[in-house]
Structure 1
Amino acid sequence: MKQLVSVSCIALLCVCCATVLADEKSKPRAKPPGEWPRDVREVFFDDAAQQLVGGRPDYGEVAAARVAAASGGSTSSGGDSGGSGDYAWSKLVDADTLETEIKRQLTPMQPLVATPAAFKGGGYRDCRNRFTWLATLFTVAGDYDGRVRWQDTATALGQLYGRAGANCKVGTDQSFRESQLRVQDLADLVRGGRPDAPEAKPDVGWDQIADRSPLMRRMESCLGEGISPKASDRRALSNNSEDLRHEAQLMALMAEVIMQPGFDYADDESYRNHSTQLRDASVALTQAIDLENFEAAREAIGNMQKACSNCHDEWR
């Protein structure tokens, strides 16, 4: 009986909805006026674009100005080596992005050091890339011009993971044991502990912290996998805005890092120009995402791809 009542109720509801829709369609609709009344015409402009002052905003210039403020008035930082604290990294990447990216390295690293066979069978290469990336992130965190988690020990951790990355150029018993320790340190850090890291050494430059090749691999995956496919249209940009913003900030960070003293070609004008263009375009992408401006975002991504392509054509 209850089932029959439910079916009857549903049928009655459908009939009611159909009746309402039919009534709505039968209602007469007012036609738009052939000419708007004078009082309306006096309020609105015939062509609003002609009343605007100045040109459309140049997001590239906005990004350059933002980065110039970060580097003390110049679009090319020329900052000191790791540990200087002279560069306003917060203009490129926020503290939450730094913390999140550091935490994200733990899960993919644990299987790489689960067994000696996994490590020596190729895991050591991925460990090298991720340790170098962690060394970069920690070093920036140590220099960060705002409050960021683990800042008091970040410089020492940057040196520690930089050494582990360098030792993972080969898969040996020694590099395996060191890698296990560094992954465990990261696990302790993420869970709220404090790894037993030695004190940071003074005057350690970027050449002792991060090799350029692992960073270049991270940059390629950042643009090719983390950015370009996720901003193919307006809906994709909206749905992936959080991930896109995360990757855009990291790209800006890396573009600045590879211009630091200690990296190969860091003092070459052409190389710095390519890196500066990539950094500025990455900042512009972050701003376009914040504004939900799809056209500006696609333009920024195009400029990022162009900067990378021009640099590879010249330096590979």
Structure 2
Amino acid sequence: MIRTSRVVAVLSLAVLGLFAAGCGGASGENDSQKTSAPAGSAEKANPDSESGSTSAAEAPPRTASGDTAPARKSSAVTVGADGRREIDGIPYDVFFDDPLQIAANTQVVGQPAAPPGVGSGPATIGTGGQPAPSVGPDGGTPTPPQSAAAGGSGTPPASTPAGSADASEWQAIIPTEELLAEVKRIRNMLTSATQSVGAFNQSIFQIPPDAATLAMLAGIAIEHPGDIRWKANAKYVRDLAAKMVEKKLMQGRASFKQVEEPFLSIRDILDGNLPAGLPESPEQREFAEVADFGLLMKRLERAEKWLTTNGGSEASVKENADDVVRESAVIAATAKVITLPGYGFEDDDEFKGYADAMLKAAQAMMAAAKKGEFEAFQKARSQVSQACTQCHSSYRN
């Protein structure tokens, strides 16, 4: 619109100049001083412009009958102090050579480019490196596409995160009773550790791996098909467990409160009560966001060493059968989770090979311990240790 206004203003003066040479023109009153910037100045398109047409305010004056008003007397062309020709102080060279041809040009120029994320341009990147939602024609987020079953052609959202296990698979990896048993063990440990600052200081090295494991198990519970009464609020348990170790723990009251406050809310949720005032948590998050890889590895290593110590004899396996099954299930679940997107190994076939071997061996340990088959258990336990050793030799350093 700015450029169009400039063209019309200059055109008007040019026409006045033509009238000065022949049939008369405008006088040197204030109207002749309302010109645009010189031709050499920068031009900036107005994003609100919708066309290249001239507004009514810029049209030539007309009489009440609609005819063009009589032209007024023109000002003469003069020569300024610098030797340049002028009309009422305006440089003569701003006028177009052929103003009628310029006026006939209705091409619209200077349309603003569409902002990122609008139309068919490349998607923008949002927080965490994820694609930001596109913008609808009204400036809001567009309505998601309907599934084919609903009459649309879009793809419905998946019920589980990309690359995660499905519900039936989680049941085979860590049965409901083993998941709940491990959550109970961690709860009991944290209850003891938060009795006092002194008790916390004594448990400071055990808390981080268990907190990461609790976050992992809560994430699994969201997708697990088992009867878990706090499943609807598992997302809060997941995020609160992660919050307990979001900063490195140090001995003393500050870290004690860092663990105690989230744990009190976790305990209420596990008891069936959702505390008021909790920040909202997303339904789905990558496990890597809430369960640190290094802490999960410490918990897995602890389980493998415990099984080596307490699974060395048939009598010991039978005596500690519940704990043997639970520790085996923790290994299986961890071996699955660390191959999911976020940890950086989802495309590493060698790493996934070690993790898959560990997962299958841990499942075999569970089955053998439940059936009391010691030889099968020993074979599977050896396979878990072998997978750990081979993986460490390739990745630990």
**What interval of TM-score do these two structures reach, taking the shorter chain for normalisation?**
0.5 to 0.7
Structural mapping, 1:33-182, within 5 Å: 80=161, 88-116=169-197, 119=200, 121=201, 123-169=203-249, 175-182=255-262
User: 1: distance between equivalents of 2:187 and 2:338?
Assistant: 24
Query: Identity across aligned pairs (percent)?
Result: 22
Whichever residue aligns with residue 319 of structure 2, its letter is N
C-alpha separation in 2, matches of 1:297 and 1:125: 30
- Identify which of structures 1 and 2 has the higher relative contact order when contacts are C-alpha pairs closer than 8 Å and 6+ apart: 1
Q: Which runs of 5+ in 2 are unaligned?
A: 1-159
Q: Give the letter aligned to residue 300 of structure 2.
A: M
CA shift in 2, pair 1:291/1:115, >3 Å: closer
Q: State the alpha-carbon separation in 2 of the partners of residues 243 and 172 from structure 1.
A: 32
Task: Tell me: CA distance 1:254–1:91, structure 2 relative to 1, closer, same or farther (3 Å).
Answer: same
Question: Equivalences for 1:256-275 in 2 at 5 Å?
Answer: 256-275=336-355
Relative to structure 1, the CA distance from residue 149 to residue 285 in structure 2 (aligned partners, 3 Å threshold; closer, same or farther) is: same
Alpha-carbon deviation of 1:259?
Answer: 0.8
Task: Note if 1:200 corresponds to 2:281.
Answer: yes
Corresponding residue number in structure 1 for 2:381? 301
- Relative to structure 1, the CA distance from residue 168 to residue 118 in structure 2 (aligned partners, 3 Å threshold; closer, same or farther) is farther
Q: Which amino acid aligns with 2:291?
A: A
Structure 1 distance, partners of 2:383, 2:347, is 22
Worse overlay, 107-116 or 278-287: 107-116
Distance 1:299 1:278 in 2: 12
Q: Is residue 171–residue 226 contact of structure 2 (8 Å, CA) maintained in 1?
A: yes
Residue 221, structure 1, aligned to residue 286, structure 2:
no
- CA distance in structure 1 between the partners assigned to 2:252 and 2:316 by the alignment: 44
Once the two structures are TM-superposed, the CA of residue 276 in structure 1 deviates from its matched residue by: 0.4
Q: CA deviation at 1:272?
A: 0.6
2:370 is aligned, of 290, 297, 302, to: 290
- How far apart in 2 are the matches of 1:274 and 1:205? 21
Distance 1:81 1:181 in 2: 32
Distance 1:242 1:286 in 2: 10
CA distance in structure 2 between the aligned counterparts of 1:230 and 1:123, rounded to whole angstroms: 22
Q: Deviations over 1:219-240 (max 9, x none)?
A: 1111111x22222222222222
More helix by share: 1
Partner Cα separation in structure 2 for residue 236 and residue 105 of structure 1: 23
Query: How far, CA to CA, are the matches of 2:204 and 2:182 in structure 1?
Result: 20
Offset at residue 175 of structure 1 (A)? 4.4
Corresponding letter in the other structure for 1:161: A
Task: Give the deviation of 1:304 after TM superposition.
Answer: 0.4
Structure 1 residue 188 displacement after superposition? 2.6
Q: Which residue, 263, 267, 270 being the options, matches 1:183?
A: 263
Larger Rg: 2
For 1:83 and 1:200, how far apart are their aligned partners in 2? 19
Given that residues 83 and 143 in structure 1 are in contact (C-alpha distance below 8 angstroms), is that contact kept between their aligned partners in structure 2? no
Residue equivalent to 1:281: 361
Tell which deviates more after alignment, 247-256 or 110-119: 110-119
Q: Could you tell me how far 1:82 is from its partner in structure 2?
A: 9.1
Does structure 2 retain, via aligned residues, the 8 Å contact 1:127–1:168? no
Q: What is the CA-CA distance between 1:90 and the residue it aligns to? A: 0.3
Alpha carbons 2:365, 2:377 under 8 Å: kept: yes
Distance 1:234 1:173, change over 3 A: closer
The offset of 1:283, in angstroms, is: 0.6
Partner of 1:39: none
Provide TM-score, normalisation by structure 2: 0.54
Deviation at 1:181, TM superposition (A): 1.1
Letter of the aligned partner of 1:137 in structure 2?
L
Matched positions, count: 236
Once the 2 structures are TM-superposed, how far is the Cα of residue 207 of structure 1 from its aligned partner?
A: 2.0
Q: Which amino acid is 2:184 matched to?
A: K
* CA–CA separation in structure 1 for the residues paired with 2:263 and 2:271: 12
Aligned-pair Cα RMSD in Å: 2.6
Is contact 2:229–2:272 with CA below 8 Å preserved after alignment?
no
Matching residue's letter, 1:258: I
| Matches of 2:318 and 2:310, distance apart in 1 | 9
5+ unaligned residues in a row in structure 1: which ranges? 1-78
TM-score, scaled relative to structure 1 = 0.66
Say whether the 8 Å CA contact 1:139–1:155 is kept in structure 2. Answer: yes
Range with bigger deviation, 208-217 or 286-295: 286-295
Give distance in 1, aligned partners of 2:209 and 2:386. 25
